[in-house]
Amino acid sequence: MPAFAAEGVVKRYGDTVALAGVNLEVAEGELVGLLGPNGAGKSTLVKIGCGLVQPTSGRVEICGAPAGSDTARAELGYLAELFRFQPWLTADEVLDLHQHLAGSTGGSSERARLLELVGLDDVTDRRVEALSKGMQQRLGIAQALIGDPKLLLLDEPTSALDPAGRRVVRGLLEELRDRGIAVLLNSHLLSEIELVCDRVLILLGGEIITEGRPSEMVEARGVEIETANGTRAYPDASRDDVPEIVAQLVAAGERVYGVKPSKPTLEDVYMEAVGGEMG
Amino acid sequence: MNAIWFIAKQTVRECRRRRVFLVVPIVTVGFLFLYGLGNYYAFEKVNGTTDLGDQLVNTRALAGSTLVGLSMFTTLFLGAALGIFLAFNTVRGDAETGVLQPLVVRPVARSGLLLGRLLGASMICCGYVGALYVGSVLITGAVGHWWPSPALLPGLSLAGGVVIVIALTLLGSIFLSSLTNGIAMFMVYGAGLLAGLLGQLGEVLNSPSLRNTGRVTSFILPFEALYQAGLNSLTSGATGLTRVIVRLGPLGGAQAGGPLLVAWAAVYLAVVAALALFFFARRDL
């Protein structure tokens, strides 16, 4: 049974189509990245999964239960893109509040473990209003992990983090995957997605326009040969063609300094897919 | 039920942490001091009875009921203002700032969150209204030796009125932004009071149109009817010319209450709460 299953999900806000028939499955322990320009429908899809938004048509299930049902909500952890915790609560009290709402019996040991996991164990009694934005985001991740959810829906979880904080979250996501927890991750940080995700989907205009494993999406396309007159690209060449190309260049009097496979970044793939569209 | 009680306690906790329970009592002490001063000077001039032609007027009852009535007018306003400020951002306001979403995705029914907020805000406001009313009655009793009879009913009427204001504010918070909802609720409150005064004027002038305006508005906004009933019961012990003079004033309470009003207020509260739950359950956040 998939942790997240969307079938023909459509969402309209008046005349605006936010999602135009999305089909998506996230398996147990799979880490899936959602990419797309602003307004592509990423957050809407995640919110439908959480039960915050009702789809116009189609169906979303969380671990087999209809999205929005008590059973479905008990199985997931969620971190919104724009969130705020009650500023008058301390970090520990925020988790305590969510333990009560989630029905978690983890008690103080669960809170201590999660705060340590996100590096907030030294500010447990500090009020949210006194935490930096990055600390609040890490607290948000800890909050999402209350009650050992089977699925995490994370909307831009690293947007406020510094590079060290991002690395911590990256390691955390990998650890969660190893424990069999599924993650659906929205992010504009393509390098993050490329580093941790098992599968990447690109949404545009409410539709999934491409998907695949990051390693497949960025596989080598042609070769680049560095000569005295600059770098020459051979986009259709394969590895086997390299000796012949180099021989021709040398015969033509070129001085060859290096040969490397031409490998696009995920950003290149993304820009190609969305056609440079900005939200 | 546990979730409702838990959210209610969170509302109380928020007020404690935001120093509402520090600031409100300090300001209230100032109000009661002013009220006490007013009682002292008012009763200084009161002998007990005044002879108006062939009728005796109980000036002590006149002054006492007027002062407690004035306190009730202020108490209702302060209680309603407190309730509006505690509830005006519950849904849309908190959703816009991102406070609501992390709570709503938990396996707690949205109804639990909304009813918990209603219960929490009602507990705080009823406690405040009760304390202010009892404080006023004690001051008037101690200074002027006049006690309302029945003593508790006017206070309970005020508390009921404030709970209705809170419920209306919660309903408004589902559709309106914090600022708009707050403004709208104060306007609704003002319209209710105005309609009540028009109704009283209709009684004095014997104008059926004005009386009906007051009655219909009291039906639509029963917090005003409860307030009127509280004022009415406050002066129910007065007799003769004293009763007539008291009832003529803006604090006399032209509309009597009764079981039907209590029943209507309960039904009204239930309907407003049910509408709020219905629309909140379907609202995209």
Q: ipTM value of the model?
A: 0.80
pLDDT of residue A222: 82
CA distances from B124 to A222, B23, B113, B163 (A): 71, 14, 17, 10
pLDDT of residue B114: 94
Interface contact A133, partner B, CB < 8 A: no
The DSSP H or E segment spanning A152 is strand A151-155
Q: Mind telling me how many Å the CA of B1 is from chain A's nearest CA?
A: 12
pTM for the model stands at 0.85
Interface contact flag, B105 A51, Cβ < 8 Å: yes
The neighbour count for residue A12, using CB atoms within 10 Å, is 14
Judge contact between B208 and B23, C-beta under 8 A.
no
Strand order in the sheet with A57-62: A16-26, A4-13, A57-62, A65-66
Query: Which residues in chain A touch residue B14, judged by CB atoms under 8 angstroms apart?
Result: 86, 88
pLDDT of residue A277: 64
Q: What angle do CA A128, B117, A86 make, to 5 degrees?
A: 5
**Is the CA virtual torsion B228, B231, B233, B236 positive or negative?**
negative
Local confidence band at A259 (pLDDT 50, 70, 90 cut-offs): confident
CA distance B11 to A240: 71
pLDDT of residue B160: 95
pLDDT of residue A195: 83
Mean pLDDT of chain B: 88
The DSSP H or E segment spanning A202 is strand A199-204
Q: Mind telling me how many Å the CA of B116 is from chain A's nearest CA?
A: 12
The pair of three-digit structure tokens given for residue A17, joined into one six-digit string: 């189509």
pLDDT of residue B250: 62
Local confidence band at A276 (pLDDT 50, 70, 90 cut-offs): low
- Return all residues near B2 (Cβ < 8 A) that are at least 6 apart: none
**Greater model confidence, B140 or A268:** B140
For residue A129, what is the DSSP state?
G
pLDDT of residue B165: 97
**pLDDT digit string, tens, across residues A137-183:** 999 999 999 999 999 999 988 887 888 888 888 888 888 888 889 99
Local confidence band at B33 (pLDDT 50, 70, 90 cut-offs): very high
Residue type (1 letter), B47: N
Mean pLDDT of chain A: 89
Judge contact between A58 and A9, C-beta under 8 A.
yes
Judge contact between A208 and A186, C-beta under 8 A.
no
Interface contact A82, partner B, CB < 8 A: yes
Residue type (1 letter), B142: A
- Return all residues near A232 (Cβ < 8 A) that are at least 6 apart: A224, A225, A249
CA distance A127 to B282: 33
CA distance B64 to B61: 5
- Return all residues near B161 (Cβ < 8 A) that are at least 6 apart: B76, B79, B80, B222, B223, B224, B226, B227, B230
CA distances from B54 to B50, B57, B61, B241 (A): 10, 10, 18, 10
CA distance A30 to A196: 10
The percentage of residues in chain A with a pLDDT greater than 70, rounded to a whole number, is: 98
pLDDT of residue B130: 95
Q: What angle do CA A198, A200, A202 make, to 5 degrees?
A: 175
Residue B242 has pLDDT above 90, yes or no: no
Interface contact B103, partner A, CB < 8 A: yes
Judge contact between A145 and A117, C-beta under 8 A.
yes
Q: Which of residues 134-153 of A touch B (CB under 8 A)?
A: 140, 143
Question: Which member of B10, B102, B284 has the closest CB to residue A80?
Answer: B102
Judge contact between B108 and B154, C-beta under 8 A.
no
The pair of three-digit structure tokens given for residue A118, joined into one six-digit string: 């996100």
Nearest by Cα to B236 from B31, B61, B101, B100:
B61
Interface contact flag, B97 A84, Cβ < 8 Å: yes
- Return all residues near A52 (Cβ < 8 A) that are at least 6 apart: B101, B104, B105, B284, B285
Q: What is the pLDDT averaged over residues A169-198? A: 87
**Greater model confidence, B200 or A77:** A77
Residue A67 has pLDDT above 90, yes or no: yes
Question: Which member of A53, A78, A80 has the closest CB to residue B284?
Answer: A53
CA distance B27 to B30: 5
Q: By three-state DSSP, how is residue B180 classified?
A: helix
Q: Which residue has the tokens 């005006």?
A: B88
CA distances from A116 to A67, A142, A156, B284 (A): 31, 9, 21, 34
Least confident of A201-205, B57-61, B261-265: B57-61
Local confidence band at B199 (pLDDT 50, 70, 90 cut-offs): confident
Query: Which residues in chain A touch residue B98, judged by CB atoms under 8 angstroms apart?
Result: 80, 82-84
Residue B249 has pLDDT above 80, yes or no: no
Beta bridge partners, A65, equal: A62
Question: Which member of B6, B14, B285 has the closest CB to residue A88?
Answer: B14
Least confident of A94-98, A214-218, B26-30, B40-44: A214-218
Residue B81 has pLDDT above 90, yes or no: yes
Please state whether beta strands A256-261 and A223-227 pair in parallel, antiparallel, or not at all (unpaired).
Answer: antiparallel
pLDDT of residue B48: 64
Question: Which member of A52, A102, A143 has the closest CB to residue B107?
Answer: A102
pLDDT of residue A25: 94
Local confidence band at A77 (pLDDT 50, 70, 90 cut-offs): very high
pLDDT of residue A94: 95
